Structure 1
Amino acid sequence: MPHVRHALRPVPAGAALAAAGALLLTGCGGGQAAPGDPVKDLRGKLPKAQRSAGALRVGMDVNYAPVEFRGPDGKPTGLDPDLAAALGRILDVRVEFVDTPFDKLVPNLQAKQYDVAMSALSDTRRRRDAVDETGKPTGPGVDFVDYFIAGTSIVVPKGNPKGIRGLDDLCGKTVAFQQGTTQDEIVTRQVGVCTRAGRPLTPHKLDTDTKALAEVASGAAAAGLNDYPVAAYAAKTTDGGARFEVTGGQSTSNPYGIAVRKDDGPLRDVLAGAIDQLIRSGEYDKILAKWNVGAGAAQNAVVNGGI
């Protein structure tokens, strides 16, 4: 896929795993910053809590290759861990990953079990405003620092035996996906579309993406919904590319964002500046190229730029 850098919609930033314990300490200091260097300015603006600890604690569901997963050594690896470690080097702090179930990422962030959540979290209005599908408030909400663009893709068994090409082809079929994700919201909307068409869709909501893909592989589900990088990775790597394929185009492209508590504005703004520095330095592009996801490159960090 060609590398296209996406210009995120500019939004002003303002004055921008507890259950398993910390898994990895990485991203330690990147040396002395020269006078007048923007890196030095960012380090000086890092909130006292992170400066004193010398660490940034990051909530992450380490189960979503290639965005975040465990390598052969059992440590977190992937797009998000690499980007987080690079941000740690810019800010001269180590990064501690806290493995957390996806649907607990934001609640545990609000409970202050870590400083930020970074785990293929789509920046959506519902998450920012903390409202349910009826619009009822469910909590204080979060801010997002957007850093990558990802759409949703449909994964089917190799050969696409059901001839699925788009969301409307899911009507009358069983669809597997991970709960609490953007795909959960898409399927919820599509259930209504299919019901009105007289061909009900049966949703299979799983607690991990791995289980959702297993249902597609076993035939328990006709298709699965995933973020594009995950869908493409599964199609390329599972059984040497013989198990799955991606069908149709991407839908509902939306930015991934680092979630920050709304009362942590200074940390939010420092992270936005650090992402911009990472992009300017060229290291951002190198990390995306490493994981073959350059098509989702952002032009700059944006606060709360999702739909």
Structure 2
Amino acid sequence: MTPSTSRRCGAIAAVTSGVLLLSACGAGDGKASLRDQLPEAIRKAGVIRVGASFTAAPMIFRNPQGQPDGLDPDLAAALEKVLDVRFEFQDVGPFANVLPGLLDKKYDIGMSGITDTREREQGVDKNNKQVNDGVDFVDYFMAGFGMAVAKGNPEKISKLDDLCGKSLVVKKGTIHEDLATRQQKACEHLGKPLRILPANADVEAVADLHGGQVDAYLTDYPKALYNVQTVDGGQAFDIAGPQFQPRPYGIAVRKGDSVLRDVLTKAMNSLVRDSTYAGILEKRQLTAGAIQNSVVNGSS
């Protein structure tokens, strides 16, 4: 197969009704040409090592056989066929370990339902202090925040301000924890303190909500919806209000690995163009988060 002629193109990202709208880029890349464009070390190994926290259903979790399952492994399996290399998932434990492990070069990419944020791209904390080199993201999905509450929503929670005077569980090291901390300060000004309970994994957060230790669980909307639909056959929880503040999910890549980043972007776009991507999202009932095209750092 003759390698495609590379073309220069720009990409503009905008969020409209929860959909990432992007300009077309990188069309015409065939399987052989994309594999040839991978970094030499990856071509020789035939493997892309993936760091993930298996605590984020429906994005990634362990199935009853103990194997990685979810949207991210489905997309990785499709990318394997496009790039002709194997994607090898490593469970890094709590989500807070994913990006530090990537920066420490324990694996090649992070793929764990990771929200692409300016802070993560630039390597700064919530106070804008530099804490690391930052990462690049190959964006592939859109998701907002969502809250799961007890069935019937007894506390009548539908928005963040309704959390004042109540209790909330969030996973450590996530943007949900940051959002909850900001809301906690707002509640303090109102004289109605918000109690935040941090958890290491989704299963812990769900158990806290199910056991009545908290009034709500704040997470990404697809994860909240998954728990609402599956725990106790859908009889334990409800969704509190609509999805809000949609942002892109991305495959995290170290800043110095721009070659790998760009090949992954082309490969993801090939899945979007040939409808493989749409089929995977439909299988997982996640079509509401579909993007029209993949870009790098779409949150910027």
Change (3 A) 1:11 1:284: closer
- The alignment partner of 2:240 has SS state of strand
Identity fraction in percent: 48
- Partner residue, 2:268: 275
Deviation at 1:125, TM superposition (A): 0.7
- The alignment partner of 1:204 has SS state of strand
| Kept in 1: contact 2:22–2:294 (CA 8 A) | no
| Kept in 2: contact 1:178–1:208 (CA 8 A) | yes
Does 2:46 match 1:54?
A: yes
Counterparts of 1:43 and 1:258 in 2: how far apart (Å)? 18
Counterparts of 1:187 and 1:109 in 2: how far apart (Å)? 26
- Partner residue, 1:66: 58
- Partner residue, 2:4: none
| Kept in 2: contact 1:46–1:267 (CA 8 A) | yes
Computed over aligned residues only, the root mean square deviation of the Cα atoms, in angstroms, reads: 1.7
Deviation at 1:11, TM superposition (A): 11
TM-score w.r.t. the length of structure 1 is 0.88
Deviation at 1:159, TM superposition (A): 0.7
Q: How does 1:97-176 map to 2 (within 5 A)?
A: 97-100=89-92, 101-176=94-169
Does 2:234 match 1:221?
A: no
Does 2:96 match 1:83?
A: no
One-letter amino acid matched to 1:63:
T
- Partner residue, 2:280: 287
One-letter amino acid matched to 1:61:
S
- Partner residue, 2:36: 44
Counterparts of 1:167 and 1:7 in 2: how far apart (Å)? 24
Match among 254, 267, 271 for residue 261 of structure 1: 254
| Kept in 1: contact 2:18–2:144 (CA 8 A) | no
Counterparts of 2:80 and 2:34 in 1: how far apart (Å)? 11
Does 2:1 match 1:8?
A: no
Deviation at 1:40, TM superposition (A): 2.3
Counterparts of 1:203 and 1:37 in 2: how far apart (Å)? 48
Question: What do residues 84-104 of structure 1 show as CA deviations (whole Å, max 9, x unaligned)?
Answer: 111111100011001012101
Deviation at 1:12, TM superposition (A): 9.4
Deviation at 1:134, TM superposition (A): 1.3
What residue ranges of structure 2 are gaps of 5+ in the alignment?
1-16
One-letter amino acid matched to 1:294:
T
Deviation at 1:228, TM superposition (A): 1.0
- The alignment partner of 1:302 has SS state of coil
- Partner residue, 2:11: none
| Kept in 2: contact 1:11–1:303 (CA 8 A) | no
Q: How does 1:27-42 map to 2 (within 5 A)?
A: 38-42=30-34
Question: What do residues 46-69 of structure 1 show as CA deviations (whole Å, max 9, x unaligned)?
Answer: 111110100111111112111111
Change (3 A) 1:206 1:140: same
| Kept in 2: contact 1:146–1:301 (CA 8 A) | yes
Counterparts of 1:12 and 1:211 in 2: how far apart (Å)? 41
Deviation at 1:38, TM superposition (A): 2.5
| Kept in 2: contact 1:175–1:221 (CA 8 A) | yes
Counterparts of 1:137 and 1:124 in 2: how far apart (Å)? 14
Query: Which range is displaced more, 90-99 or 195-204?
Result: 195-204
- The alignment partner of 1:216 has SS state of helix
Does 2:244 match 1:231?
A: no
One-letter amino acid matched to 1:227:
D
| Kept in 1: contact 2:142–2:246 (CA 8 A) | yes
